[in-house]
Structure 1
Amino acid sequence: MSMPNSVENLVAAAVAPRRSGDLPARFALFPSSPEAAAPALAALQRDLAALGAQVEQRNAAGEALLVLPEHRLADAPAAFAAADAIVDGYGFAVVEPEIIHAVMPVQRLGPEGPADAESADLLPGCWVGEEGELKSRKRWALEAITIPAAWALAKAGNRPAQGQGIIIAQPDTGVTGHAELIGIRIVKPLNLLGDGKTPTDPTDPLLPEGNPAHGTATASVAVSPESLDVSGTAPAASLMPIRAIQSVVRLSQVTTAQAIDHAVANGAHVITMSLGGIASFSLWRALGRAVAADVIVLAAAGNCVSEVVWPARYEDCIAVAGIDAHDRAWPGTCRGSAVDISAPAQNVYRAAAQTGDAGQGQGTSFAVALTAGVAACWLAYHGRATAVGEARKRGETVQAMFRRLLRMTARVPAGWDSHGMGAGIIDAEALLKASFDDGLGEGAEETAVAAAVPSRGASVRDLAASVLGPAASALPVDWSRRDAEVSLALLTATQPGTESEASDASAAAAERLQRRVGGRDILMPHAMSISK
């Protein structure tokens, strides 16, 4: 067991003085029980008083944040070592350092160039040029997923159309005033970064070091009115913008989890996340709460890094990959068995806040935002209360029922890659026409297998096997406890093909994994596979 002074030393080794623009060092704390929370939190704050530690309670379950206002986390391996020491020394079930990380590049939306430095310099071939043929088809993305037909179907049947009455929550960089967004309904906005005029001001300040205007662009393809060039898939829906990140390529899953909790607590019906990063207990727990509350939760599969990122990689999240105007995979889309469905991602027309006009944009960020609008249309068409009731009759959550119907009604082009790109391309009209029973019971064997292995640790184990080789899945690693640490190491490694001196496949995988986590010994002392 770690003693208080050793915990203080390990935490001190993980931090550095906070600079202007830095977020404070934070650790998410999850007690073993609500009763154990208060004494553990008090002891931890007392023992780290020299570092100016503060504790912020998050909910009645005792979940909290340890905050060091004058410091920033400066070293990821040291931060994970400090988290281990806090678990051992104070009896917490899980402690997670808030790692600001970059794994998924996005297209730069300003005048500087087609993509940010990371994507342009390190990932050639990910982005494509603008397509002149689409300039006369600015709403091609809506046509590709039959949204106009779905709207017409709802109106012909005197049903609520275009997402009317549904709230879409959007954790992102925030939104700005833009002609394409004039008239949208804003509900319960929030700024988790503390840089707004008020705590509820979600305005994106368009800082050059972030991904300025990203939230404005993705919001536009979900909820923009039909008045100008861009129309959202759910122009009658309300938007709950949450400024949770400065950059989609440098983000915090802890803050993203806070955004999800805010959305659920304030009545959101759909949550769309045009972002992606590492695995996170905070994120996994928040997703579970959202799904249990019958919120539909979706995320981008990812851009340019091959592997599907989190939260999309979790079973509790609907993962959306990207296509072009010809039903082909967008070159930058992440692919894999975690993908549920595909939607337009290549040269989708969206609002561009930095120039004040609209233009073509790329990324699975747009694919998931389009899909979120489709979810809003489906909920409005049937009525959310009806959807909840019908899901209960079938022993499902609304999320599970929507995913089943989304996949069953998908349009499947010839030669479709169903393993990497999901069931097909969204067909909104067919989705609205579908019976609640369509596809019920199909895939039951696969569903049972997935339910037998909780997705939190399993998704990280599967990534390790994909990156390091099949032998990695049998390594004696507690994939749940090490989820953030291992996923960070695997997704941010710059040399995925690093060779090992070991001849045995298992030993080689273990050597590569430990090298990537900075030499920390994360293997358990007994030779058995842990898949939690």
Structure 2
Amino acid sequence: MTSLDALRAATVAAPGNTARYALVARPGRAARVAEAVRTEWGPLGIQLAPLSTLEPEVLVATLPDRALAPDRPSVFAAAYAAVEEFDLVAAEPDLPTGFFPQPDAEPGPARETLDNFPPGCWVPAEPELEDQPRWAPRVMRVPEAWAFSEQQGRPSRGDGVVIAQPDTGVTKHVELADAITVPGFDVLDGDPDPTDPLGAGGNPGHGTGTASVVVSGEAHVVSGSAPLARHMPIRAIESVVRVTQVSVARAIDWAVANGAQVITMSLGGIPSFSLDRALRRAVAADVIVLAAAGNCVRTVVWPARYDDCIAVAGSNAANAPWPGSCRGPAVDITAPGQNVFRAKVSPAGDEVGQGQGTSFAVALTAGVAALWLAHHGRANLVGAARQRGETLQGMFRRLLRATANRPAGWDPFEFGAGIVDARALLAADLDLGRDLESVPPPSDVRERAAGSVRSLVAEAAGTDAARDEGPDLHDFGPELAAAVLEGRLASADRFRREAVPAVPVSAPPAVPVSAALAEAAGPELCALLGLEPTGGDR
């Protein structure tokens, strides 16, 4: 089967939609690949453009008036066919995934997936918090951090630090009326207006809510953790419960190219070659990058799962883990995520309310990163990191973990070093924690990407299943991760039905995967992970 035939099988006619693939060319071959792709895929009206000005070797192939087929194995089979035909490093579909649920999603297909999660993921609102709308920054000792900077004669409240936020965009709200903003961007429409269109379905207003816990002014109800930081809103997804990773990679590159100093991502999905490369570029450019660990699927999703990203889990007002938080060794730190007060979209644009999810935990932590940069001066911190042989990201992660508040009974293997302590972070000596043993990530970029998938396979099927003799976890990582996460959804559904005796229980169905992945994985691993080969031959 040619790559064109595979692409035809992987997409369907859908006027007004677009299907996308990211093609990673070998160094110096992007122009040659572009010419070959235009020739071979021309019958489908293909359009090609670099991922961004920072990434000319990743080409985004867009098919107007087509959408990716619901048959996921065929969608990935087309990527594998493209790798072979055009001699690529990698290729991936810009596949919307629903592995990051939110409780405030609107009715529709995305909302229906929430019923597949175990009981106890979402918790009720807590009436006792209604008179404490700023409890979240308080337990992180954010007000004390502001006061400490003032006492030291240093910039306070994140003054001047640029925080980029790829999300659904923002809309007018009283909580953001005093926020200091810098020009943002709409990656989806390719224009400078990051306004959230608040479309039907998904969870409209998500970006407004997460922005409020970072930069809302002190004169209002919520108060962000860094109210004097400069907010850079980027519309990168239509819905946080339908994330496309290539658009997030483009948002990261746009943020880096336009002066972002912190990037916070309240979203998650499957691994992505283009996203991994964008993260590494951001870290190399001395940008602090954080992402939400995820909700309800229990295991950390991407991009938080990458070594180059700081993964933030969620806690509650009692400094205990939020039951719905994703967890595991990939978590670096925890911050409030259960019933955090945030801006809530309404006709009048003035409502606030309790919201839950690691979306808010990472946004609050991004504000603390801005406090740290403002307090010490970013240039000073970059120089200090260089002297210590670290990246700025690495030094911030080390200090964030070393100064964390670890309550009694805390499980560091599930929820990281503890809960963010902003006051302790700002006061810490920059050498704190350097004497602690740590395992550096592999220097080989393919192995680093593969490692994040290997850990997921180990969680799902045991460490023996993640042995090196299995499939190439770089090449097949996105499809394998999607299949494993889907399997977790099926197990969650079984768990839910077991809790309701009237509902008959059956074993979770096998998850279909491409023939190429099934062949590479072998029958033993397929059986362990519940994978079933179907169509999509190379």
- Asked whether the two chains share a fold, i.e. TM above 0.5, the reply is yes
Distance 2:443 2:323 in 1: 29
Show CA shifts across 1:150-197 (max 9, x none): 000001111000000100000000000000000212212111121xxx
Residues 1:380 and 2:374 are matched in the alignment: yes
Q: Which residue of 2 is the match for residue 90 of structure 1?
A: 86
Q: 1:450 to 1:132 in 2, by over 3 A?
A: farther
Letter paired with 2:240: V
Distance 2:536 2:10 in 1: 14
User: Greater shift after overlay, 255-264 or 46-55?
Assistant: 46-55
Q: Secondary structure at the match of 1:491?
A: helix
Match of 2:58 among 55, 58, 63: 63
Show CA shifts across 1:88-138 (max 9, x none): 11111111111111112112167x79x943224543211111111111111
Match of 1:165 among 142, 160, 163: 160
Show CA shifts across 1:413-467 (max 9, x none): 00001100000011000000001111113124x2367989842111111111211
Q: Which residue of 1 is the match for residue 343 of structure 2?
A: 351
**Gap regions ≥5 residues in structure 1:** 523-532
Match of 2:398 among 391, 401, 404: 404
Q: Secondary structure at the match of 2:122?
A: coil
User: Greater shift after overlay, 44-53 or 118-127?
Assistant: 118-127
Show CA shifts across 1:57-104 (max 9, x none): 234643211111121111321121111111111111111111111112
Q: 1:49 to 1:450 in 2, by over 3 A?
A: closer
Distance 2:364 2:168 in 1: 17
Q: Which residue of 1 is the match for residue 432 of structure 2?
A: 438
Query: Is residue 469–residue 509 contact of structure 1 (8 Å, CA) maintained in 2?
Result: no
Query: Is residue 50–residue 56 contact of structure 2 (8 Å, CA) maintained in 1?
Result: no
Letter paired with 1:289: R
CA RMSD of aligned residues (A): 2.2
Alignment of structure 1 residues 331-342 onto 2, 5 Å: 331-342=323-334
Q: 1:347 to 1:451 in 2, by over 3 A?
A: farther
Match of 1:53 among 46, 49, 56: 46
Q: Which residue of 1 is the match for residue 140 of structure 2?
A: 145
Show CA shifts across 1:11-43 (max 9, x none): 1010101244x3x11111111112x22122111
Residues 1:185 and 2:180 are matched in the alignment: yes
Distance 1:452 1:91 in 2: 19
Q: 1:448 to 1:207 in 2, by over 3 A?
A: closer
Distance 1:498 1:208 in 2: 31
**Gap regions ≥5 residues in structure 2:** 492-506, 511-520
Letter paired with 1:150: A
Alignment of structure 1 residues 18-417 onto 2, 5 Å: 18-20=14-16, 22=17, 24-34=18-28, 36-58=29-51, 59=53, 61-74=56-69, 75-108=71-104, 116-120=111-115, 122-194=117-189, 199-354=191-346, 356=349, 357-417=351-411
User: Greater shift after overlay, 171-180 or 205-214?
Assistant: 205-214
Letter paired with 1:316: D
Q: 1:477 to 1:121 in 2, by over 3 A?
A: closer
Shift of 1:48: 1.2
Q: Secondary structure at the match of 1:368?
A: helix
Show CA shifts across 1:261-303 (max 9, x none): 0010001000000001001111100000000001000000000
Q: Secondary structure at the match of 1:406?
A: helix
Letter paired with 1:128: V
TM-score scaled to structure 1, two decimals? 0.91
Q: Secondary structure at the match of 2:89?
A: strand
Residues 1:462 and 2:455 are matched in the alignment: yes
- Larger RCO (CA under 8 A, 6+ residues apart): 2
Query: Is residue 117–residue 296 contact of structure 2 (8 Å, CA) maintained in 1?
Result: no
Shift of 1:510: 2.8
Q: Percent identity?
A: 50
Match of 1:482 among 476, 481, 485: 476
Q: Which residue of 2 is the match for residue 526 of structure 1?
A: none
Alignment of structure 1 residues 414-425 onto 2, 5 Å: 414-425=408-419
Match of 1:17 among 7, 13, 17: 13
Shift of 1:516: 5.0
Distance 1:200 1:517 in 2: 44
Distance 2:177 2:163 in 1: 17
Match of 1:426 among 397, 420, 423: 420
Letter paired with 2:464: A
Distance 2:61 2:120 in 1: 42
Query: Is residue 189–residue 202 contact of structure 1 (8 Å, CA) maintained in 2?
Result: yes
Show CA shifts across 1:484-511 (max 9, x none): 11111111224347599xxxx9854333
Q: 1:453 to 1:202 in 2, by over 3 A?
A: closer
TM-score scaled to structure 2, two decimals? 0.90
Shift of 1:231: 0.4
